[in-house]
Each structure stands twice: as C-alpha cells, then as structure tokens.
Amino acid sequence: MFYIKVKLGQDLEMKVDIHDENVFTRCPYCGTEFAVDLVEVLSDGECDLHSTAVVCTTCTKKARG
Ligand SMILES: [Zn+2]
C-alpha cells in the first residue's frame, strides 16, 4: 500500500491511500482532468512522476485523424 502524505500545518498532516481510482492527471493539450492507472503508466520503466504526460482519449483520436 502506498499513500500520499501532505503537511497541512505545523501539527496537521493528511494521508491518502493511492489506488486505481484516485490518481488523476491533466491532458497536456486540452487540460482535461481524467483518472489514470499509475501502474499502467509507469510500467514501461521509461517515465517518471514529474515529466510524464498522458494524453486524453479525445486528443489521441484527433492526433490519429
Ligand atoms: Zn486532451
């Protein structure tokens, strides 16, 4: 189990479990927010959490014509 830990104040922090339904990103072309499966995105071993972008299905379809 992995989780995100965010410090909200000097004595307050929040922990949120990471699972396949609460990880989101924004499409780099249209800005649409959508859920992503981190395991699938990171499975190719050539990406990282900072610079990897996932294109939404609409922009993917436009790019493919
Ligand atoms: Zn898009």
10-49: burial string, b at 16+ Cβ within 10 Å, e else: eeeeeeeeeeeeeeebebeeeeeeeeeebeeeeeeeeeee
3-class secondary structure, 29: coil
Contact criterion met (CB below 8 Å) for 5 and 14: yes
Taking the centre of ligand 1 as the mean of its atom positions, its distance from the CA of residue 57, in whole angstroms, is 7
Mean pLDDT of the residues in the chain? 92
Taking the centre of ligand 1 as the mean of its atom positions, its distance from the CA of residue 28, in whole angstroms, is 7
pLDDT at 11: 94
pLDDT tens digits, 25-64: 999 999 999 999 988 888 888 888 888 999 999 999 999 9
Query: Residue 26: what are its φ and ψ, rounded to 5°?
Result: -120, 140
Query: Taking residues 6-25, what's their average pLDDT?
Result: 94
Confidence of residue 10 (pLDDT cuts 50, 70, 90): very high
pLDDT at 44: 80
| Structure tokens, 42 | 């990171």
